[in-house]
A and B are shown apart, each in its own frame.
Chain A
Amino acid sequence: MLRLGRTAYAEILAHCWAGLPLEACGLLGGTTTGPAATDDADATICYPTANLAESARVYTVDPKGHLRADRDAERRGLTLIGVFHSHTHTAAYPSPTDVAQAPDPTWHYVLVSLADDAPVVRSYRIVEGNIAEESVVLLSR
């Protein structure tokens, strides 16, 4: 399960909309109960990053933004627990590219679909090419 802070949730959506017509991406800071695919995480901080690919079809998290996010999370006693990105015209489900390039089996992969009027936010664990959706619950703050 991914428990998502309301502020972080709002910032994820704002960053994805602001990025249109391109895909937008960023990292999530928080805490996790452990590294296994069955472990839960609280994502309380959203770190919007530039999409270096500047594309409507692919994204690359700006490494400089990644380094800054990693340092900030450490200062707060948190870790980076996942990444989010938008799909501008397709469903909120990991693409073959997402699966092939998922770097970290301990991470939570949040997908935001902007294909319809209302955004759809879903979260997945991707371990050795296997996709498992997990529930997303909003925290009170």
Chain B
Amino acid sequence: MPEVRIPTMLRPAVGGAATVEADGATVGEIVGQLVARYPDLAGQVVTEDGTLHRFVNVYVNDDDIRYLSKLDTKVGEGDTVSILPAVAGGAV
């Protein structure tokens, strides 16, 4: 089953775990299953209109899904899905 790495900011929503397992053939299916299991994740990774939240980056293994098929990106049995916050700011 694919492993999903959870960033520290979202760990409270999944009971504190750094990684969870989730079944699904695509990133979208996996996130959907996680939200069903952990309702506090709703709106944190995928927006209400069903697109990837702009404040997170999601990878399948080493690849940013924005440059693949976004939420339709395929995920295999042994793959790792990593969710990381987008980190930005500045002097203004």
Contact = CB atoms under 8 A, between A and B. Distances in A.
Interface residues of B, number: 21
Nearest to A68: B62
Contacts, number: 87
B91 A88 contact: yes
Contact of B90 (A23, A66, A74): A23
A125 interface: no
Contact of B85 (A57, A97, A98, A104): A104
Interface string B2-15: 00010111001000
A105 B9 CA distance: 7
A67 B8 contact: no
Contacts of A94: 89
Interface of A is mostly: mixed
A37 to B, nearest CB: 13
Nearest to A32: B8
Interface stretch (A1-9, A12-20, A78-86): A78-86
Nearest to B9: A104
Contacts of B62: 67
Interface of A: 23, 25, 27, 35, 53, 55-61, 63-64, 66-67, 70, 74, 79-80, 83, 85, 87-90, 94-98, 101-107
23 contacts: A35-B8, A53-B88, A56-B91, A58-B89, A58-B91, A59-B88, A60-B87, A63-B64, A66-B87, A67-B57, A70-B7, A70-B84, A74-B18, A79-B18, A80-B8, A89-B91, A97-B90, A98-B89, A98-B90, A103-B9, A103-B55, A104-B8, A104-B9
